[in-house]
Amino acid sequence: MSIYDFSVKNAKGEDIPLSNYKGKVLLIVNTATGCGFTTQYDELQSLYKEFNQKGFEILDFPCNQFANQAPGSDEEIHSFCTGRFGITFPQFAKIDVNGENAIPLYKWLTENTTFQGFGHSPMGIMLSGVVKKSDKDYKNNGNIKWNFTKFLIDKEGNIVERFEPTDMKNLKEKISELL
């Protein structure tokens, strides 16, 4: 299987085959509008602006599974993101990324990657404590741990790397290498 075997719903409820993105470098992100990481929208938009014309796409999947930090409708979330952060990359329908209602794309992503750790920053240490309360074995499974987990996909549809919410530092370099 590859990323191109999946379809997802856009914010209007229409099926979008990911094969539409063949030959592009993709960054797939589960997002939330009320999260401490929401400011990453600025960095994501900057990456999109810099690399989109070179064959890069960000696929944004709002998710309300982590502390109810994306409670709005698809339309409300989109309005917030375009108004506050000026995002121009594709935003899809709100989804579940874990559990029995996780969309097939995210089941595949989590089955084929491992958790990379939150690091030793104050935010990383705090997040480890929060996540451990709901998933005692969180370090040993591929489940999404929090909002703004990112998956970098190469032009052939292969998962190249998983970036946890606390990690944005090497992302630009990795995208540039793949383009």
Asked if 150 contacts 29 with a C-beta cutoff of 8 angstroms, the reply is yes
Cβ neighbours for 119, distance < 8 A, ≥ 6 positions apart: 164, 166, 167
Give me the active site residues, please: 35
Q: How far is CA 12 from CA 4, 92, 99, 101, in A?
A: 21, 8, 24, 19
9, 137 in Cβ contact below 8 A?
no
Within 10 A of 67 (CB to CB), how many other CB atoms are there?
14
Question: DSSP code of 36?
Answer: T
Q: Please give the Cα distance from 174 to 176 (Å, whole number).
A: 5
CA torsion through residues 135, 117, 123, 99, sign: negative
